[in-house]
Amino acid sequence: MFNSAVNVKTTVALAAAAALLAPAAAQAKIIEIGQLDPAPVPSCPRSCNAVSRTTGYQAKVGTNRGLMTVPQAGRIVAWTITLSKPGPSQIKFFQDNLGGEAKAGLAVIKTAPHLMATTRSLSPVETLTPYFGQTVQFPLTQSIRVHKHDTIGLNVQTWAPALAVGLGGDTSWRASRSQAQCRDTQTQTAQKVGQTTQYRCLYRTARLAYTATLVTDPGT
């Protein structure tokens, strides 16, 4: 089931129309960063897993290592997340241990050698609880400027049931945690704008269920 926080199609269409107010030879494009078939299916309520208190990005899906890499300069106008539907006891456990209601947003990250990365921008944080069991798209009131080769991450302030597990060994995501923290899911490691850290933790056989809508600069 698809749910929209507002009229997303209209919002994205207006953003694209604004970008297209340029000569006909220099047209913008709309690209959904992270979209890949088959779409990931988060794990709850069976064997319920959630992303918690970190900033992460999908490192690899099969042979695709650039799934969350911005292909062209432009602006992010919306982001989408697929949420599983945890049961009442699961929700209580996560809320009691991870800071309350499920909340997340988008992160724009500039990667560097040795798994270092700096957070360029963050979207507003959204409360996810009303959308459990759905795919929801959040349009951005203020679009986010991105550059070619930036990485789009998921910034989870508390927790988010948006993790597909039990996938192949060629699927993995990275989190903004030190190597010693890979098993520590409660310490807050969600990034702030301008913060630089090492994305040392690699979680195999799992996929983060999010995408971002990019409107490219005309002519790029």
Residue 75, pLDDT score: 98
Burial class (CB in 10 A: 0-12, 13-18, 19+), 129: middle
70 within 8 A of 151, measured Cβ to Cβ = yes
Residue 26, pLDDT score: 74
Residue 8, pLDDT score: 46
Q: What string of pLDDT tens digits covers the 220 residues of the chain?
A: 444 454 444 445 555 555 444 455 578 999 999 999 888 999 998 889 999 999 999 999 999 999 999 999 999 999 999 999 999 999 999 999 999 999 999 999 999 999 999 999 999 999 999 999 999 999 999 999 999 999 999 999 999 999 999 999 999 999 999 999 999 999 999 999 999 999 999 999 999 999 999 999 997 6
Q: Which of 146, 100, 141 is nearest to 121 (CA)?
A: 146
Euclidean distance between CA atoms 101 and 92, whole angstroms: 9
Return the HEC string of 79-143.
EEEECCCCCHHHHHHHHHHHCCCCEEEEEEEEECHHHEEEEEEECCCEECHHHCCCEEEEEEEEE
Domain boundaries, the chain: 2-216
Radius of gyration from C-alpha coordinates of the chain: 17
Residue 198, pLDDT score: 96
